[in-house]
Every structure is written in C-alpha cells, then in structure tokens.
A and B are shown apart, each in its own frame.
Chain A
Amino acid sequence: METPFLILSLFVYLAAMALCFFKKSSEKIFLYVTTIAIILHLLALIIRSVAAQHPPFTNLYETFLLLSFLLALRLVFWKRQLPKNLRWLVLVVICLFLLSALVMPTSYKMPKPLMPALNSLWMYIHVPAYFFGYMALILGFIYAVTLLVRRRATSERSDSSLVSCMDTEIKIAFLFLNIGMATGGIWAYMSWGNYWAWDPKEVWALVNILVMAFYFHLKKPTDTKKAVLVILALLSVIFTYLGVTFILSGLHSYA
C-alpha cells in the first residue's frame, strides 16, 4: 500500500539530486523539493505502520525505509553541518536504499505481526538509536571517502572542515551505538532475564563499538587514518546489519 508513495518520493529525491548539479538552482528550491520527498516518504512510513500495526523497525524492508528517511531528514534539518557539494552523495545513498527496498521480494515486504519479544516500549528507543547511529556513520563514511578521493586528486595536506564534519558524525554514531547497546541490554534483561547473551548480532555490535573506539584512540590521528577507520567501521556495521541477518542466526534473526 505504501509502494506508490515510495516510488513518488524516489522520483522527487532524484529531482532533488538533479538540482544539486545545477549551479543556478537556488537553495530554497532544493529545500522545497527535498521537503516534498520527505513528506511522501513519511506518508509511506505512516501507511506501513498502520498496515503492520507497529512502527517500521522490525524487518529489513522497514529498516531500509527508516534509515533512508533519517538520512533525508539530515538534508533538511541540521543542514548547516552538511557541506552543500556533498548533498548529492547523500541523495544517492537515500535513493539506493529506497530502490533496494522497492525491489525486495514480496515475502520481505509483507507486514507481519509483532513477535512477543519485540512488543516492548524499549523497541522505540533501542532500534531508532541504532539507526540514528547508522545514519551518522553513513554520513561519516561519505566524508571519509570524499576526503580520501580529494587527497588523491589534489594532494592537499588537510581539509579541516571535512575532517571536522567527519569527527562530529563519528561522535554521534559512537554515542548512538552505545545508547543502542545500553538500551538493548536493559530490554534483553526485561525480556529474557539476561542483558547479554553473546548472540552474533550482539557480538558484532560490540565489535562495531570497539572498531569505532580506535577512532578516538589513535596516537597520531591523521586524516587518512581516521578516514580509513570510518570505512572499516561502516563495513563492520554493514556486516552486523546485513551479514549477521543472512549468514549467522541467533536471537536477532528477525532483524
């Protein structure tokens, strides 16, 4: 039911992306177009939530929609942080997520009732916290790749504004991954009586945090080292998000 709205929002996001390449297009027009796309995206999320009778956090399809929505929000709100010339890259990631969600097999998209363990208030904190962290890490990744590409192309020694943006995103990501882990522990204790079960997803969430901790514990934190660490952290998160779900099984197999 939400598919028409998703397709529409995808096209509007593509239009916003096209605007990024027109030097004469104004900031206002970009903002209006992106806002329209976000409203359509939000409508799709609401319709999905009503159909599934739970917020869109519980399977891969829904989390793709949620993650792309959070990324889109960053384009409109707190946009001062995001360099204008990198917006198109964020829009590419949003469109890729939406496209992937749209082409997923029907079995992935079917709204399913909430399983008993997920029926908890903690889900409303734990899952969004992780996806907020993932969103910040994706932005950090965009900065990291841009930094490395620019370094290679221009052999500039430092791009302090980009590094500063990357630092902020990694701090946000690290904070929210920690919040996700802490709330997950509390929820697991309420649900199973055990705050930590060495489940593959839990172990990989811990690995993500340890990898990101390196970012703050470099002896000589050069921009290149930091950028490489951000890329490694994102790879680790991608494995946690997708790899663990499809390759390994455990308590979080539904996610």
Chain B
Amino acid sequence: MRKNRTRLNLIVLRIFQFVALVLILLLAASTFFLQQSEVPSDYSSPNLIVRWLSLDRFYDSGLNSILWLFLMVLLVLAVVFNVIRSTAQKALHLLLALIFGVVFINKNLEVRFFMPIAEGKEVLLSSFIDRLPEKEDATIRLERFEIPTHAGTSSPKNYISHLVINQIDSVDLAVNRPVVVGKFRLYQNSYDRVFFFRVMIDDKPFETAFGDVFNVDGTPVSVIAFDDHTEKFIMSIGDDEFRPPLDQPFPAGGKTVRITPLGIRFISVIEVVQPVGVKWLTALGLLYIFSLIMAFWKRPAEERG
C-alpha cells in the first residue's frame, strides 16, 4: 500500500514537472512571435512548427487551455491522493487550482467590447451588445474629453472623459478611475481626434467624420476625403461619386448637398466590461498569498511531501 502511494506520488510529481516544463517552453517561445491579435485575422505564420504548436495564437489556443486545465487537475490530485501532507501546502495547491478554474470561467463568460463616443454624442449600451435586457441598458453621453498635462510639460497626466449616464449622472471616467454602470464597468481605453462636418442634404443636417456612412432615404452616404488641389470634398451617395465644394450648395443625385466644416473633436474609446468572478479571483489571490506565507513559514522546502 505504502509502495503504491509512493509510486503514485512520483507519477503525479513527474507529470506536474512535465506539464510545467512544456508550459514554460511554450509560453517563453510564444513571446517571440507576433500573436494573431496583433496582426490581420487572415495572417498565418509560414513556419510549420509555429503553426503546429500554435505559437502565433498560443494565448487563445486550445493547447494553452488544456495545459492549464491539466495543471489544475494535477494540483487537485496532489491533494486528494495525499501527495502533499502539510495542511498549509494542501490549501495552497487547492487555492491555485480554484484560481485556474475561476480564470477559465472568467475568460469564457465575461463580456467585453469597445465603445467609441464622439464629444457631444450619446450612445446606448444595447447598440454594442446583443440581447441586453432593457433594465440593464444605459445611455452614455460624452460631454467633453480632456487631457490634463503635467505642469510645464506636454506629457499627459491623465485622460478624462466627462460622461453623463442616463441623462442624469455626471461622472468623470479616467485612467485608473473606472466607472460602474449597472453590471458594467467602463474603462478609459484610448482616444482619437477626428475632423467633423455638418452635411446638409435637402436641408436635413447630419454630423459626420471622414469615412462614416449614414443613410438618407435608404441611400448610403459618406464623405470620403478632401481634395486639397480642387478644394472639393469627395463624397459618395449610393454608388455615385460627387465632389461638392467647401461650404457651398451642390446638386448631387437629385439632392442639394452642402458640407460645412465643424472642427476637430475628440472621440473617447471606452472599454466596457461585464466581469465574471473577478471579486472571487481577488479574494482567492489574496488567500493564496496568505497560504504561501503560512506554507513557507512552517516548513522548509526539503520536507515537501
């Protein structure tokens, strides 16, 4: 019986060492390859080994998930089969297994999307996420975007979006200062500066930026560019291209078009997250650190079971 247990301990330990070693090598190698999240979606590495080991998409790959799940199972087995005998170390290994489990659930269930809002514009959360219950929806208006700088320099001190939530609550969203809206957390991600125009089509005004497409009576309309030589805009209405001059009425596709420049406005890019299990993860992480202190305090490394 005792011999069998020793043999089992050895097997669990050897498998753990093998899985950990494979993970170390794959994780280290993957940092040297461009990940698919950083390159166009149709990109695939020409290197067969890179493709075979998923090194160019390792973090999202099944191989990565399987190895961590396997490690999680080994941690539980080590406790169940008494490979580890100290209580503190058992707690430590179980906590690690729990952490891996919560991370796995979190990565698969959390909702995350980017929400660009131009200054003076309002968006609905439900326009970015499918099947959002009405009571969880919210309108978010960007009043103003601000980049305060460090005194005497042009280095940004922070990026602040002055928001109005549901037309009532004024809040400031900044880096390191997320805002909670119902079940969602908003994070200041990035920003852009875009030139805006007012496009009048048959006296109907639209505010737009280059490349934006809007519908006029079911016809897609877009201001594509500005030609510096002729000082005319390049604009598409349906399949036809027109070149209206700056701030003058111009007949286009049976309509009268007038484009007036409005000026540069900020677009704040806000990351919206509906977290799953993050509080649990934080609590487990802190408990893990506490168990680590207890395990190291009580027993020297040589006494590992």
Q: A203 near B30 (CB under 8 angstroms)?
A: yes
The yes or no answer to A175 lying at the interface (CB within 8 A) is yes
Q: A112 near B155 (CB under 8 angstroms)?
A: yes
Interface string of A55-96 (1 = CB under 8 A from B): 000000000000000000000000000000000000000000
Q: B176 near A186 (CB under 8 angstroms)?
A: no
Given known contacts A116-B156, A195-B278, A210-B20, is B289 in contact with A179 (CB within 8 Å)? yes
Size class of the B contact interface (CB-based, 8 Å): 35 or more
Q: B301 near A119 (CB under 8 angstroms)?
A: no
The B10-33 residues at the A interface (CB cut-off 8 A) are 10, 13-14, 16-17, 20, 23-24, 27-28, 30-32
Select one of B10, B273, B278 contacting A219, CB under 8 A. Answer: B10
Interface string of A106-118 (1 = CB under 8 A from B): 0000001111110
Nearest-Cβ distance from residue A20 to partner chain B, whole angstroms: 29
Given known contacts A204-B31, A207-B28, is B176 in contact with A119 (CB within 8 Å)? yes
Q: B31 near A116 (CB under 8 angstroms)?
A: no
The yes or no answer to A48 lying at the interface (CB within 8 A) is no
Q: How far is the CA of A116 from the CA of B158 in the complex (A)?
A: 5
Residue tally, chain A, CB below 8 Å to B: 45
The yes or no answer to B153 lying at the interface (CB within 8 A) is yes
Given known contacts A113-B157, A217-B17, A244-B31, is B296 in contact with A182 (CB within 8 Å)? no
Knowing that A117-B175, A216-B304 are A-B contacts, what are 17 other residue pairs whose CB atoms are under 8 Å apart, sorted by A's residue number? A53-B150, A113-B150, A116-B156, A119-B176, A178-B289, A182-B288, A185-B281, A185-B285, A192-B271, A193-B185, A193-B273, A203-B30, A207-B27, A217-B304, A219-B10, A221-B301, A248-B32
- List B residues at the A interface (Cβ < 8 Å): 10, 13-14, 16-17, 20, 23-24, 27-28, 30-32, 35, 59, 103, 112, 150, 153, 155-159, 174-176, 178, 185, 187, 189, 271, 273, 275, 278, 281-282, 285-286, 288-289, 292-293, 296, 300-302, 304
- List A residues at the B interface (Cβ < 8 Å): 53, 112-117, 119-120, 164, 167, 170-171, 174-175, 178-179, 182, 185-186, 189-196, 198, 200, 203-204, 206-207, 210-211, 213-217, 219, 221, 244, 248
